[in-house]
Structure 1
Amino acid sequence: MTIQAVIFDWAGTTIDYGSRAPIVAFQKAFANVGVQITEAEIRKDMGLDKYTHIHKIINLPVVQNNWQARFQVLPTNDDCDRIYLDFKDILLASLTDFAQLKPGMSAVIDYLTTNHIAYGTTTGYDEEMLAIVAPIAANQGYHPAINVTSEQTNGIGRPAPAMLELACDKLEVTDFTKVLKVGDSINDILEGQNADAITVGIVEGSNLMGLSATEFDALSRPQQALLRAKVASQYEAAGADHILMSMTELPALIDSINAPVSDIQ
């Protein structure tokens, strides 16, 4: 088999170690209406487009209960719209602080370029958000050939395969079984599975791990190992084809997939 394309996610996968920017913005937007939400409540649906994600959060039983206790009514679609607009303003204002490439990405970019493997992205960001992070990433050498948002697929985002299929179409790749979908959330894995792509979950700096680089580095080695194993088990339960501790392992994975059968035996 020869890998024809790699489709990455953005936050937590290629930039923004720990996928911190959306977490901060979600919590601030809900706090602005007097409702506190936890990181765990946010992270369970990460990977969705942000508007759908707001609806998912606001429909959580604990959030519904807290909302009703505060306002004596349940939240409406207008409330969702208002929170989303506030969330977006907060996120747009902070994205420049969270656009640093994750460790290993520069070497991955060099590898893909040298081996003439096309790469692009699908993302829960919208076009306005991408317009901020993409140029910053480009200044660090990251130039995806295409970036697909749910705005380009009539609002159909993960875990449906529509964005990934469109990305492959734009890259002129027709055999999805020769495409790697690389992400840091369960919805990334499901997106890849639903498109019959090869799925790759990244452990360190992922949404599933949920720690900044500083927080992770502050852990003891046994704590780090335990956390890595916990995240890997979540990917495994979701059916990920491959689980990598960090992006630095991606070139070797592609080499092993591309190796002739005679070389493997």
Structure 2
Amino acid sequence: MTIQAVIFDWAGTTIDYGSRAPIVAFQKAFENVGIKISEAEIRQDMGLDKYTHIHKIINLPAVQNDWQARFQVLPTSDDCDRIYLDFKDILLASLTDFAQLKPGMTATIDYMNANQIAYGTTTGYDAEMLAIVLPIAANQGYRPTVNITSEQTNGIGRPAPAMLELACDQLEIKDYTTVLKVGDSINDILEGQNADAITVGLIDGSNLMGLSQTEFEALTTAEQTELRMKITAQYEAVGADHILQSMADLPALIDMINQPVTDRH
């Protein structure tokens, strides 16, 4: 088999170590209406488009209970809309602070360019959010050919395959089984599986890890190993095809997949 394209996620995969920007924005937007939400409550649905994600959070039993205790009514769709608009303002204002390429990305970009492997993205960001991160990423040498949001698929986001399929179609790739879907959340893996792509879960700096680079590097070696094993188990539980510690490991994985079966040892 020859890998024809790689479709990446954005935050937590290629930029924003630990996928911090959305977490901070979600927490601030809910704090602004007097509701505290934990990172764990947010991260369980990461990878969805942000509007759908707001609805998921607001429908959590704990959030519903807190809302009713505070306002004596349950939240409405209008409340979701207001929180989403606040969330978006907060996120747009902070994205530039979280757009640094993750370790290993530069070498991976060089490898894909040298081997003429097409690459694009699907994302939970919307077009306005992408408009901020794209030029910052481009200045660091990362220029995906296509960037698909759920706005381009009639609002159908992950875990459905629509965004990934559209990305492949725009890259003129018909056989999705020759495509790697690389992400850092369970919804990324499910998106890839639903499109019959080869799925790759990243460990370090992922949404599943949830730590900034400074926080992760402050852990002991034993703690780092234990955390990596925990994340590996989460990817294995949903059937990810490959699990990589770092983006730096992606070129070797592509080489291995591209190698004829008879040459493998």
CA drift of 1:261 comes to 1.6
Counterpart in the other structure of 1:180: 180
Please list the CA deviations of residues 113-166 of structure 1 after superposition, one character each: whole Å capped at 9, or x if unmatched: 000000000000000000000100000000000000000000000000000000
SS at match of 2:155: coil
Q: Aligned partner of 1:68: which letter?
A: Q
Runs of 4 or more off by more than 2 Å in structure 1? none
Q: Aligned partner of 1:215: which letter?
A: E
Counterpart in the other structure of 2:163: 163
Please list the CA deviations of residues 203-238 of structure 1 after superposition, one character each: whole Å capped at 9, or x if unmatched: 000000000000000000000000000001000001
SS at match of 1:199: strand
Q: TM-score, normalised by structure 2?
A: 1.00
Partner Cα separation in structure 2 for residue 230 and residue 245 of structure 1:
12
SS at match of 2:240: coil
Q: Aligned partner of 2:92: which letter?
A: L
SS at match of 1:96: helix
Counterpart in the other structure of 1:10: 10
Residue 149 (1) aligns with residue 146 (2): no
Consecutive unaligned residues of structure 2, counting only runs of 5 or more, are: none
Note the aligned Cα RMSD (angstroms): 0.4
Partner Cα separation in structure 1 for residue 173 and residue 229 of structure 2:
34
Consecutive unaligned residues of structure 1, counting only runs of 5 or more, are: none
Counterpart in the other structure of 1:206: 206
Counterpart in the other structure of 1:106: 106
Counterpart in the other structure of 1:224: 224
Equivalent positions of 1:1-265 (< 5 A) are 1-265=1-265
CA drift of 1:36 comes to 0.1
Partner Cα separation in structure 2 for residue 97 and residue 192 of structure 1:
29
SS at match of 1:200: strand
Partner Cα separation in structure 2 for residue 178 and residue 63 of structure 1:
42
Q: TM-score, normalised by structure 1?
A: 1.00
Q: Aligned partner of 2:83: which letter?
A: I
Partner Cα separation in structure 2 for residue 235 and residue 261 of structure 1:
25
Partner Cα separation in structure 2 for residue 149 and residue 19 of structure 1:
17
SS at match of 1:48: coil
CA drift of 1:262 comes to 1.9
